[in-house]
């Protein structure tokens, strides 16, 4: 009886939260093993935990250099965590079950519906099949293209390993890189700032990983159906606008900065501005030194990281659809209208409430975490805020604070990464009791606003 009651209390959000926590624990244990490091010594527990959380949440923040600290075993463990975190462990478990011709139960379908952010359960298993197929195709093409480029500077076997690692890491919006082995620890992609081949491939991988599988499916089916869903329209519109506005802002703010765009030619400045506008959407890689950007550019990137990517994608943040609904609500109020309308479709009131709740919970979480970190860590507040938002938005960009974090700071950032991947609203649902439908309504009251 108790087991049955426990099963009934295990709602999809609770199951997802416990699942992610369990995988993080396993990843921490594996990364703690001496075989996981390049020099054969055991990594401190707090660093192993931080890395595991960063990988499963597909963030990319690191306290140790990925290319030089971890052995091949450790890097493969990280890559597996990234893939599980990007796809979602329920998606991966379903794929394994389908391989063995196991039937997917109704309860498992409901959990998958929650994990994929779908509104209906119908066709969810077919969606999972397509997710896995397209993931393998996109990551495979990315790996081949990057292998071809890297083969010019290293043996083919090493180039294939680098290409595969980077393709999986970047498509899942994790941002881990191995270039510490070549260009020095924490060097990242800075040496490729003038390489259009690498820039385009990485930008496309980040973009595809950030728009979500639902949008990818819509785009693939569009030549046949000639239709595109409201969700895809909103995601593509807001994403495109943010990329264009972001690129223009970064170009204007940084074009004369001698530490970033200043020394570059104008075509490279434009390319670098576009890349830096795409990567805050959860990409985690940068071709410019983030710490050397102007403060105005850093704050603007904080806004982009907070908005994040699309629902059902490998990215974080409050999501572009949430941002679109909020802007729609503001416009509706200014115009004195009643309904939020996007592309001639009325948005339900419950969805508007959900968007407002998610945004406020996220802001409260970031305000509290930033204030706490300003006490435990040393440095400018903008630097601390940037790190906190990067962790919550699973963006993986850093102004250099990650490696300087105190133990309590590492735990705080790790919690932000975990909550950012899981979603504060999902966690709130996971921790709350099952709500009962109200049988009455209170009388309407009036208060003065503004």
Q: What's the rounded mean pLDDT across residues 38-58?
A: 94
Q: Evaluate the CA torsion angle 215, 219, 222, 225 in order and state its sign.
A: negative
Q: What's the rounded mean pLDDT across residues 54-68?
A: 92
Confidence of residue 354 (pLDDT cuts 50, 70, 90): confident
CA dihedral 353, 356, 359, 365 (to 10 degrees): -80
pLDDT digits (tens, 9 = 90+) for 207-231: 998 898 888 888 988 888 888 989 8
- Of 16-20, 110-114, 273-277, which one has max mean pLDDT? 273-277
pLDDT digits (tens, 9 = 90+) for 147-186: 999 999 899 999 999 999 999 999 988 889 998 888 878 8
Average pLDDT, the chain: 86
Q: Which two tokens stand for residue 96?
A: 């394994």
Q: What's the rounded mean pLDDT across residues 177-199?
A: 89
Residue 327 pLDDT exceeds 70: yes
Is the separation of the CB atoms in 147 and 178 below 8 Å? no
Structure confidence at residue 11 (pLDDT): 61
Structure confidence at residue 31 (pLDDT): 96
Structure confidence at residue 6 (pLDDT): 46
Confidence of residue 133 (pLDDT cuts 50, 70, 90): confident
Q: What's the rounded mean pLDDT across residues 26-53?
A: 95
Is the separation of the CB atoms in 56 and 421 below 8 Å? yes
Structure confidence at residue 131 (pLDDT): 80
Which is more confident, 1 or 293?
293
Main-chain phi, psi angles of 341, to 5 degrees: -125, 125
Is the separation of the CB atoms in 179 and 67 below 8 Å? yes
Is the separation of the CB atoms in 59 and 396 below 8 Å? yes
Tell me the DSSP string of 174-188. Answer: -----THHHH-TT-T
In this structure, what DSSP letter does residue 264 have? S
For the chain, give every domain's residue range. Answer: 7-429
Structure confidence at residue 122 (pLDDT): 58
Task: Choose among 193, 191, 172: nearest CA to 182.
Answer: 191
Q: What is the pTM of this model?
A: 0.88
């Amino acid at each position: 009886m108790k087991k049955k009651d426990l099963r009934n209390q295990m709602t999809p959000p609770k199951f997802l939260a416990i699942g992610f926590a369990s995988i993080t624990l396993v990843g921490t244990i594996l990364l703690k093993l001496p075989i996981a490091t390049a020099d054969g010594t055991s990594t401190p527990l707090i660093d192993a935990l931080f890395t595991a959380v960063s990988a499963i949440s597909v963030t990319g923040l690191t306290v140790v250099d990925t290319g030089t600290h971890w052995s091949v075993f450790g890097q493969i463990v990280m890559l597996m965590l990234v893939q599980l975190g990007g796809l979602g462990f329920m998606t991966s478990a379903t794929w394994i079950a389908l391989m063995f011709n196991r039937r997917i139960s109704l309860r498992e379908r409901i959990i998958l519906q929650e994990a994929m952010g779908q509104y209906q359960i119908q066709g969810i298993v077919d969606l999972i099949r397509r997710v896995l197929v397209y993931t393998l195709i996109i990551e495979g093409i990315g790996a081949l293209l990057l292998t071809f480029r890297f083969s010019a500077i290293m043996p083919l076997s090493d180039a294939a390993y680098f290409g595969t690692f980077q393709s999986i890491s970047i498509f899942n919006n994790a941002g881990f890189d191995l270039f510490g082995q070549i260009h020095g620890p924490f060097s990242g992609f800075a040496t490729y700032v003038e390489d259009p081949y690498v820039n385009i491939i990485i930008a496309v991988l980040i973009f595809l990983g950030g728009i979500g599988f639902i949008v990818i499916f819509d785009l693939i089916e569009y030549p046949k159906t000639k239709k595109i869903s409201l969700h895809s329209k909103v995601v593509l519109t807001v994403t495109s606008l943010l990329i264009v506005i972001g690129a223009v802002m970064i170009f204007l703010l940084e074009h004369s900065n001698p530490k970033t765009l200043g020394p570059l030619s104008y075509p490279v400045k434009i390319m670098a501005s576009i890349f830096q506008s795409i990567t805050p959407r959860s990409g985690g890689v940068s071709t410019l030194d983030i710490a050397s950007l102007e403060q105005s550019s850093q704050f603007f990137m904080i806004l982009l990281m907070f908005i994040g990517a699309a629902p059902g994608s490998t990215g974080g943040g409050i999501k572009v659809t949430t941002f679109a609904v909020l802007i729609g609500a503001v416009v509706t109020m200014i115009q004195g209208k009643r309904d939020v309308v996007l592309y001639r479709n009325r948005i339900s009131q419950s969805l508007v409430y959900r968007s407002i709740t998610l945004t406020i919970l996220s802001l409260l979480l970031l305000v509290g975490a930033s204030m706490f970190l300003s006490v435990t860590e040393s440095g400018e507040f903008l630097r601390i805020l940037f790190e906190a938002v990067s962790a919550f938005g699973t963006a993986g960009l850093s102004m250099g604070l990650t490696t300087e974090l105190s133990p309590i700071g590492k735990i705080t950032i790790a919690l932000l990464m975990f909550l950012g991947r899981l979603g504060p609203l999902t966690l709130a649902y996971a921790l709350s009791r099952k709500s009962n439908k109200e049988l009455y309504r209170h009388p309407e009251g009036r208060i003065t606003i503004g």
